[in-house]
Amino acid sequence: MREFAEKEIRPHVREWDESQHFPRELLPRLAELGLMGVTFPAAYGGAALGLTDYVVIMEELARVDASVALIVSAHHSLCASHINLAGSQEQKRRYLAPLARGEKLGCWSLTEPGSGSDAASARTAARLEDDSWVLNGTKSFVTNGHYADICVVLAVTNPAARTHGISAFIVEAGTPGFRAGKKEDKLGLRSSDTAEIIFEDCRIPRANCLGKPDSGFLDSLRVLDRGRIGIAALAVGIAQAALEDSVHYAQERKQFGKPIGSFQAIQWKLADMATEIDAARLLTRRAAALADRGNRVTCESSMAKLYAGEVAVKAASDAVQIHGGYGFLKDYPVEKYYRDVKLCTIGEGTSEVQRMVIARELLGRL
């Protein structure tokens, strides 16, 4: 993974970031390496590896370009994982297999302009008409939205039942009434695509309901339990890159006639960064290992995501500080880590939401 990322991604990172270029040309290479279907069964085109393997892949991709890691994450951990978790055999054959083989790209669409942390207050609605579901509404912040061939979308089927009245659907790009809207102009992760998705009387076959009707929201929480472990690994990857660049710069940059790494203030920053990153990595790998053994990991995945996200934001900030004024320039990659990393305390549930999840696991619903 490291060799691949260094050789085939590293040379393009800055240009892709500056031009907001979605690296479509990289997707066949990612597919060839099995990265689009790491944890899915071989029978459905996957590499049949575990989340423990997947987190190493995420970390190594994010260490070089977190945008590429996010593209893989939304495709693999959200879209394809939801189909793997809840899909029928026919849905897996038809949709999971081409996703896992990387022949098709996926996106996953839960968030709406008015419902983020409170995802159960979604308004996009699906009604059954004859033998079709008809979808109407607007989704937001959809990673890969403009480029995906297959979209898993959550829509309300029974408004009174809140979390027990939301279903998941598989929608193919090109279906009339389905379109990607505005492309978001972002602080970081600029070569990943973030789109609005609009449904206007979008008619899909009845068979494209994913999992049991009304149970899509509950399934999506299980998808997020695993997905958050991937975002934690993505955070660790950015933090690791920030640390490596900082160590190198501290050895090279001289002030007061000495390398800045000889000053205790810099040494302690580096020591704290290294220790916290390792702790974040271990929390992430623990959650992945427990998930691979079939355990419920709601608490562990939120702990990993919370801690890794916060540690990575701090590491990227300290890396800019260690680079001084040069950390503020595009000439060094640390300014990009500083921009990219903020997603890690927001996407797949903010840090506040992770704390809510952990506290609920400790206390139950009060």
Catalytic residues: 348
Among 156, 343, 357, 358, binds ligand FAD (CB under 6 A): 343
In whole angstroms, the minimum distance from the beta carbon of 108 to ligand FAD comes to 5
Structure tokens at 255: 């002030």
In the list 224, 347, 354, 357, the residue contacting ligand FAD (rule: CB under 6 A) is 347
Structure token pair of residue 104: 């098709």
Residue 139 has φ and ψ, to the nearest 5°, of -105, 160
Residue number of the CB atom closest to ligand FAD: 116
**Interface map 279-298 toward ligand FAD (x if CB under 6 A):** --------------------
CA 141/CA 287 separation, integer angstroms: 26
Tell me the C-alpha to C-alpha distance, in Å, between residue 136 and each of 153, 186, 197.
Answer: 11, 26, 11
Query: 20-59 mask for ligand FAD (x: CB under 6 A)?
Result: ----------------------------------------
Site for ligand FAD in 70-89 (CB under 6 A): 74
- Which of 81, 143, 240, 298 is the binder for ligand FAD (CB under 6 A)? 143
What is the C-alpha separation between 99 and 75, in angstroms, rounded? 8
Beta strands in the chain (DSSP E): 106-109, 125-129, 132-143, 150-156, 166-172, 178-183, 194-205, 209-210, 254-255, 258-259
| 346 belongs to the binding site for ligand FAD (CB under 6 A) | yes
Backbone angles phi, psi at 146, to 5 degrees: -80, -20
Does position 111 interact with ligand FAD (CB under 6 A)? The reply is: yes
Span of 98-106, 166-174, 186-194, 205-213 interacting with ligand FAD by CB under 6 A:
186-194
Residue (6 or 352) nearer to ligand FAD, CB: 352
Closer to ligand FAD by Cβ: residue 186 or 336:
186
Q: Which range of residues in 60-68, 137-145, 196-204, 257-265 is near ligand FAD by CB under 6 A?
A: 137-145
Classify residue 49 by its DSSP letter.
Answer: -
Q: How far is 315 from 239, CA to CA, in rounded Å?
A: 6
Strand, helix or coil at 55? helix
Residue 350 binds to ligand FAD (criterion: CB under 6 A): yes
**Spatial CA neighbour of 229 closest among 295, 300, 277, 315:** 300
Residues that bind ligand FAD (CB under 6 A): 74, 108-111, 116-117, 141-143, 186, 189, 194, 343, 346-350, 352-353
